[in-house]
Amino acid sequence: MNKIIVTLLLASFVFVSCFKEDNGGDEFARELFLESPQLIIATSGAEKNIQQELVRSNTFDYYTAGELEYLQNGQAVAKVNFGNGTENSLAELDKDGDITSIDLKKDESYYDGKKSKFKKVIVEPLVKAEDCPFIIAGIIKFYDFDTDAWVATIDYGNFECDEWATKTTADSDEPYVFSLNDWQK
């Protein structure tokens, strides 16, 4: 009986270890799957235009000035205004005349009551389409919570409804394309 229990425990450990390897041993798995979009649009296949030149913060990777416009079928569906150059992490989202504030810097995030291991900077707002189960555009940077060192950047793509995103890390010169399906519950 003890042999069976030990064998089952060992098999479980091997299975979990293999699953982690299949996902690249990626510690971002939980964070990626639970990340929330700042903008939801009707359908995938949108376009993004820079309406006013984007200016990056002197100390962080978010924008402090400029404006992005999101188009569907040639019509503006939303705008994000990053401000006038004042050093802060707030942007304004205008969707159908409804203006909301977006905090581009997330020092403390909680998912299911557990604190994130990373500080995050939303470089470009995360966009989801109602007709797609994935975030379809946007860029988010992850920083070590204790040292503030850049760890990785995730680029969710170009408004196509697909499962693919690109991860760039401080450890590698090569971007890693992965499936968001790998991280679903």
Q: What is the DSSP string of 5-19?
A: HHHHHHHHHHHHHHH
- Percent of the chain exceeding pLDDT 70 equals 77
Confidence (pTM): 0.79
Which ranges in 23-140 belong to alpha helices (H)?
29-34
Calculate the average pLDDT of the chain. 82
Q: Which amino acid is at 41?
A: I
User: Is residue 10 domain-resident?
Assistant: no
User: Is residue 9 domain-resident?
Assistant: no
Domain extent at residue 69: 27-183
User: Is residue 78 domain-resident?
Assistant: yes
User: Is residue 14 domain-resident?
Assistant: no
Q: How many domains does the chain have?
A: 1
The pLDDT tens digits of the residues spanning 5-49 come to 434 344 433 333 333 334 444 566 667 766 889 999 999 999 999
